[in-house]
A and B are shown apart, each in its own frame.
Chain A
């Protein structure tokens, strides 16, 4: 997307329009961004007009659906949320399953950006029924869903932060322009140079060659760690920088993920705008419901909530067995870490008063970072290779 001249033309057009016409009012800005979003989806994103029409209709349905279900939502928020969410959820599942099973009639519903659209829809609906969003505006809702720099692969705004950035757009002065240019070039260097350098050594190459040696898988998974980070964080850099050109602040998606000292820390640094949704909009509601039902079994609730959340995480990425296994792998990692942490807190309380040596702490931290990085890297084997290839091995 960022390589098409049309993207840059559209971006500069929008920036010039906002600057010259002084589009200060929130609704006017939102309407312009939504219109540009439709143009972007039809042109360089390459969606067919029927799908673009569906996305616009789904955005409108969510806006009016929220208004229609406000009353029901006061007493039964989950029922109201699912009523509004169904017209997005059902086509998304149909599309995913069709792509996995090769069902011709619905495979057109498996299209670029739909998974991000789904998450944005769910967070808006949930925020509305939990009263974090009071009165969504029609044009802001449309701009929120169709915001083109972040449509294809995020980072994903929450509705509240998108509306706030439209109210107070970021200014593009000299220093900000240097920042934007720096970030755009950094994004391209990550994608064009770093990722391209390591791709021939990574799991992608192992998958293509089909030669699954233990050594190849081991080296390939570490190289793939660099490839996927460079590609994804480079793309996020580009989305964040280009959003700023049209005055929109887009949240950060990565915060040195491979410097994480444990798996929980990793998920707070990796694909941040998705993992905050996993925490706040999947894990918390699931564990609350389970706690209400099986209050006494705290450990069982914790394990089930983690596994359910990460099973969804795997399915969200792609409807294939290897992605489900990858989700379970991370879910299990988080369960083990959480149980270990509970034990470690007890041990620390017993040991209280005995000072630890500084170098021992540093060494411990370095070992934790290395262990977390290795755990994540080896997990990419499940992410990249199809299940039949892994089981064959």
Chain B
């Protein structure tokens, strides 16, 4: 089995930091505008909405994982397939 954990480069860490910052800013703005958001959808609808978002995120994660497994680092020069 090809180990999924490959070399983590500074470029990967940059995108991880960016993703974390994006997530935190989204969470913060959701907290600030929580009253307006509550009027937009009810609790049940928000739950379904977040599940739909999670479905998209997980589907992307699985696609990237399969790429990482099928094209391990040693088979290509970083950034160029």
Contacts and interface: CB of A to CB of B under 8 A. Distances in A.
Interface stretch (B27-35, B50-58, B71-79): B50-58
6 contacts: A178-B48, A178-B52, A179-B51, A182-B58, A185-B58, A186-B58
Interface residues of A, number: 16
A192 B51 CA distance: 19
A193 B65 contact: yes
Contacts, number: 44
A178 B55 contact: yes
Contacts of A192: 62, 65-66
A181 interface: yes
Nearest to A192: B65
B20 interface: no
B45 to A, nearest CB: 9
Interface string B15-27: 0000000000000
Interface of B: 1, 3-5, 44, 48, 51-52, 54-55, 58-59, 61-62, 65-66, 69
B80 to A, nearest CB: 24
Contacts of A178: 48, 51-52, 55
Interface in A213-262: none
B51 to A, nearest CB: 5
Given A178-B48, A185-B62, A193 B4 contact: yes
Interface string A177-198: 0110110011011001100110
A181 B58 CA distance: 11
Given A193-B4, A196-B4, A200-B3, A188 B55 contact: no
Contacts of B52: 178
Given A196-B4, A199-B3, A199-B4, 11 more contacts: A179-B51, A182-B51, A182-B58, A185-B55, A185-B58, A186-B58, A188-B62, A189-B58, A192-B66, A196-B3, A200-B4
Contacts of A196: 3-4, 65, 69
B48 A197 contact: no
Given A175-B48, A197-B5, A200-B5, A181 B61 contact: no
Interface string A198-215: 011100000000000000
Contacts of A182: 51, 54-55, 58
Interface string A314-348: 00000000000000000000000000000000000
Nearest to A196: B4
Please give me the 5 A-B residue pairs with the lowest Cβ-Cβ distance, nearest first: A196-B4, A185-B58, A200-B3, A182-B51, A189-B58
A185 B59 contact: yes
A321 to B, nearest CB: 27
Contacts of A188: 58, 62
A189 B66 CA distance: 11
Given A193-B62, A197-B4, A200-B3, A181 B55 contact: yes
B76 to A, nearest CB: 19
Contacts of B51: 178-179, 182
B54 A193 contact: no
A92 B62 CA distance: 38
Interface string A148-182: 00000000000000000000000000010011011
Contact of A189 (B1, B3, B61): B61
A365 to B, nearest CB: 26
A188 B66 CA distance: 11
B9 to A, nearest CB: 16
A38 to B, nearest CB: 31
